[in-house]
């Protein structure tokens, strides 16, 4: 998949494409249905499939208290590639883009740069300055440029709309099972293993450390996990997601202790699957209390893993 981060100047791409535009936070069942239909259309027209999104997300740009994210950008890229998307145009959402007139957005980006021949968006999609552009405008402008525009009907599961909002709320409450059912896949976070303070080694619980953004949705606390990407195999373990209050931590991290694994793997890229939520993150008065709790957490994680693996 080609990742396009910046457009220096609108210039018609050599190849036309089929496309969709949206936040695509979570790439849930509804998103997967849209992309699946577009893949069929792309095959029919013999054109590549392009997904257009934004960074930061518009809600993050405009709101002082934006919603949390299901996935960081790196995981969105990973999942789009898995879904078979050919190009991911991730536009920088800044003052210039926020103030861009809807007709200019269509002309400069969709027509002149991407040369979109078939576009799918939600029928409630809004874009451009003051959200002045909508589905009806896209259809009207598309007629003059040879771009067909179709809407994407809402997908429901258990009589409720499949939405990023529902998934965020599920993750914020530690309801991994509900989140997974709406995502259509098991929730994973990924990243490269970083050096930490190595305090876990002092209590015989070494950890693999991933730095995470502060604004991700999962509830802070302890999880039973499964890790992929090491030695072409998968491993189970217990992990803490949060700021590590016992050691006065200031960064959001995922610290994973794997059962029966002690190799040095710094710099390797892994995916961590959150299997079950165990408890909230808490501050302990000393390392002996922390160690005692981790022993209990590890046993609980093993019990939960035995039921789901």
Give the chain as a 3 state SS string. CEEECCCCCCCCCCCCEEEEECCCCCCCHHHHHHHHHHHHHHHHHCCCEEEEEEECCHHHHHCCCCCCECCCHHHHHHHHHHCCCCEEEEEECCHHHHCCCHHHHHHHHHHHHCCEEEEEECCCCEECHHHCEEHHHHHHHHHHHCCEEEECCCCEECCEECCHHHHHHHHHCCCHHHHHHHHCCCCEEEEECECCCCHHHHCCCCCEEEECCCCECCCCEEEEEEEEEECCEEEEEEEEEECCHHHCCCCCEEEEEECCCCCCCCCCEEEEEEEEEEEECCCCCCHHHHHHHHHHHHHHHHHHHHHHC
- Of all residues in the chain, the percent with pLDDT exceeding 70 is 93
Among 160, 194, 228, residue at a domain's last position: 160
**CB–CB of 120/35 below 8 Å?**
no
Task: Determine whether 43 is exposed, middle or buried from the number of CB atoms within 10 Å of its CB (0-12, 13-18, 19+).
Answer: exposed
CATH number of the domain residue 270 falls in: 2.40.30.30
Indicate whether 96 belongs to any domain: yes
Same domain as 255, residue 297: yes
Same domain as 254, residue 206: yes
Q: Which residues contact 116 (CB under 8 A, 6 or more apart)?
A: 16, 17, 18, 19, 50, 110, 147
Same domain as 155, residue 21: yes
Same domain as 194, residue 102: no
**CB–CB of 151/37 below 8 Å?**
no
**pLDDT exceeds 90 at position 46:** yes
- The more confident residue out of 52 and 152 is 52
Same domain as 261, residue 124: no
Indicate whether 7 belongs to any domain: no
CATH number of the domain residue 115 falls in: 3.40.50.620
Q: pLDDT tens digits, residue range 129-142?
A: 999 999 999 999 99
pLDDT of residue 203: 64
Same domain as 142, residue 37: yes
Domain span at 213:
186-308
- Of all residues in the chain, the percent with pLDDT exceeding 90 is 76
Q: pLDDT tens digits, residue range 154-212?
A: 888 888 899 999 999 999 999 999 999 999 999 999 999 998 766 656 567 889 999 99
pLDDT of residue 170: 98
Same domain as 191, residue 156: no
Tokens (6 digits) for 175: 């309801």
Indicate whether 20 belongs to any domain: yes
**CB–CB of 173/165 below 8 Å?**
no
Domain total for the chain?
2
Task: Determine whether 57 is exposed, middle or buried from the number of CB atoms within 10 Å of its CB (0-12, 13-18, 19+).
Answer: buried
Indicate whether 180 belongs to any domain: no
Q: Which of 10-14, 94-98, 218-222, 304-308 comes out lowest in average pLDDT?
A: 10-14
- The more confident residue out of 124 and 272 is 272
Same domain as 106, residue 18: yes
């Amino acid at each position: 998949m080609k990742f396009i981060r910046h457009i220096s100047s609108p210039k018609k791409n050599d190849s036309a494409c089929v496309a969709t535009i949206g936040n695509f936070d979570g790439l849930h069942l509804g998103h997967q249905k849209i992309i699946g239909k577009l893949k069929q259309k792309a095959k029919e027209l013999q054109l590549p499939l392009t997904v257009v999104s934004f960074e930061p997300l518009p809600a993050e740009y405009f709101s002082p208290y934006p919603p949390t994210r299901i996935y960081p950008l790196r995981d969105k890229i990973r999942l789009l590639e898995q879904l078979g998307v050919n190009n991911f145009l991730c536009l920088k959402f800044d003052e210039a883009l926020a103030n861009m007139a809807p007709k200019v957005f269509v002309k400069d980006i969709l027509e002149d740069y991407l040369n979109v021949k078939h576009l799918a968006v939600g029928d409630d999609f809004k874009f451009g300055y003051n959200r002045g552009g909508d589905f009806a405008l896209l259809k009207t402008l598309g007629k003059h440029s040879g771009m067909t525009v179709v809407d994407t009907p809402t997908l429901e599961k258990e009589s409720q709309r499949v939405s990023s909002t529902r998934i965020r709320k599920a993750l914020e409450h530690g309801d991994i099972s509900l989140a997974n059912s709406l995502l259509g896949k098991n929730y994973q976070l990924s990243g490269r293993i970083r050096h930490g303070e190595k305090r876990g080694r002092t209590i015989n619980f070494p950890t693999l450390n991933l730095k995470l953004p502060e604004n991700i949705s999962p509830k802070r606390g302890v999880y039973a996990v499964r890790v992929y990407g090491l030695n072409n195999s998968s491993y189970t373990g217990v992990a803490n997601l949060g700021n590590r209050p016992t050691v006065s931590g200031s960064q959001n991290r995922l610290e994973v202790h794997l059962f029966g694994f002690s190799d040095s793997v710094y710099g390797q890229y892994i995916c961590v699957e959150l299997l079950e939520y165990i408890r909230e993150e808490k501050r302990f008065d000393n390392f002996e209390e922390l160690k005692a709790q981790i022993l209990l957490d590890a046993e609980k994680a093993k019990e939960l893993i035995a039921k789901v693996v």
